Structure 1
């Protein structure tokens, strides 16, 4: 029997009964990723460091969405922490269906006072920390939570990459008039490296777990408006066909699409949503 179109729409995006994990879930975009999944009926677990207060954010999400959502303190670079969180989630909800690898370090250089960001000056400790959070953390989360999905023969992983995984940073955006060249701030090398590597991880996992019915995709969002200096915004607008940065809730449709049955025949793909910047 053919499903009526109206019912088909509701079914495609319905996440009722599914359990979703969002790393960096208490942050700017992480919370909005979790919110759209909760609105579709998922029980959402926001993972973040203690300093981000994921417990309070989880309670906020539960109140706003009327779903059984929660926030848990977790260092995603710690296998011990991740195994503990996995057990907590399985004990409470009995399953894991969705993982969004969203957590990453993203040092801000728009204010123009960060000569340390230049390749010649970039601290090795920062390189190692950024790789560990953004890439190793995604690997560990995929291994721990993905293995649980593989055991059940069903699941979805979404890796949050960036438009800077598709194009190189335009370092002119960060220039400060009057500074000598060797002191000009730049987007740190680790951001592009981590985000590009996440697309490679996406392709690998998509084929590795294909027989386990786990779909793995990436999203490459553009920059999100968050009070950046006007000089930076003015320069960036000229590089984006839509003429603006994204609002913090404008990636929710893509997240819901990739996490739901609406994308049931989609895996190993990077969905670019950048206002057209990478098409120039």
Structure 2
């Protein structure tokens, strides 16, 4: 356990707890894993990309000890993979106490996009199914399997990672490019806000379904995270945010610690929006 964890207020202490983070080697998944390891949890970085997960596990172990983390190859779209993942975690740690449903496909709007296919009229059906499989069906399956185990073994916490696009629609003006006609302008695809909004429904459903099983379920809706986007896009988005900037990737750590620990013991079925104030404007 880290020295930081030893001095935290008891409600934030996850010592002896096991936390599974899906999509754990992604931009925010890594941050969630480090946040929970920081307060004493043994973290499982579950990802379809096992080498990337193993790289992040090595970093956490370097800071918090050999048994502080493990990598798990997990395809959240397949029930057999999720069930096998639970068995692997139980075999290694003996239990699961926290599930962070973070796995998602975030379709980016770039200069190289085939702009016609990002628009609703031409959005590929296979992409609709694929992205819903990862972001929504994956959260359902992991909740069913890992949450089901927790319901039978004293309870736990589920945290669904949604988005500020769960509470408002994408502002497609952010993605406009000069020289293109209206019907060829790239847009944020329909799938992402639909999935993130649906996660709020799943959050409320699970919170009330498992209320007697001592399982608390909440959602976190982060705003845009700076990760090397183009200067024009960053400027446009920053003007829509009262704090005047995009988030750093590590700025959600404290919220994850709060929502996954007993510090939030009287909170369930809720969505915490951290968007720099954008939804207030």
Q: TM-score, normalised by structure 1?
A: 0.95
- The answer on whether the counterparts of 1:25 and 1:48 sit within 8 Å (CA) in structure 2 is yes
The match for 1:40 is: 39
Partner of 2:84: 84
Query: Deviation at 1:64?
Result: 2.5
After superposition, give the CA deviation of every residue in 1:171-192 in whole Å (9 maximum; x if it has no partner).
0000001100110000000000
**Superposed counterparts of 1:49-64, under 5 Å:** 49-50=48-49, 53-64=52-63
- The aligned counterpart of 2:3 is none
Aligned to 2:197: 196
1:62-114: CA deviation from partner (whole Å, max 9, x where unpaired): 22232520111111111111111101111111110000000000111043634
The within-5 A match list for 1:109-120 is 109-111=109-111, 113-115=113-115, 116-120=117-121
- Is 1:187 aligned to residue 188 of structure 2? yes
Q: Structure 1 residue runs of 4+, over 6 Å off?
A: none
For residues 195-216 of structure 1, give each alpha carbon's deviation from its aligned partner in whole angstroms, at most 9, with x where no partner exists: 0000000000000000000000
The yes-or-no answer on 1:25 pairing with 2:19 is no
C-alpha distance in 2 between matches for 1:77 and 1:278: 31
Q: How does 1:165-176 map to 2 (within 5 A)?
A: 165-176=166-177
SS in 2 for 1:241: coil
SS at match of 2:72: strand
Partners of 1:114 and 1:258 lie apart in 2 by 38
Q: Assess if the C-alpha contact under 8 Å between 1:112 and 1:174 holds in 2.
A: no
Aligned CA distance change for structure 1 residues 253 and 128 (closer, same or farther; 3 Å): same
In structure 1, runs of 5+ residues without a counterpart are 1-6
Contact preservation (8 Å) 1:217, 1:268: yes
User: What is the Cα deviation at residue 51 of structure 1?
Assistant: 6.2
Distance of 2:247 and 2:38 partners within structure 1: 21
Asked whether the 8 Å contact 1:77–1:133 carries over to 2, the reply is yes
Is the CA contact (8 Å cut-off) linking 2:50 and 2:71 kept in structure 1? no
Two-structure CA RMSD over aligned residues (Å):
1.4
- In the alignment, structure 2 segments of 5+ residues that lack a partner are 1-5
Matched positions, count: 274
**TM-score with structure 2 length normalisation?**
0.95
Q: CA deviation at 1:9?
A: 5.5
Pair 1:52–1:118, CA change in 2 (3 A): farther
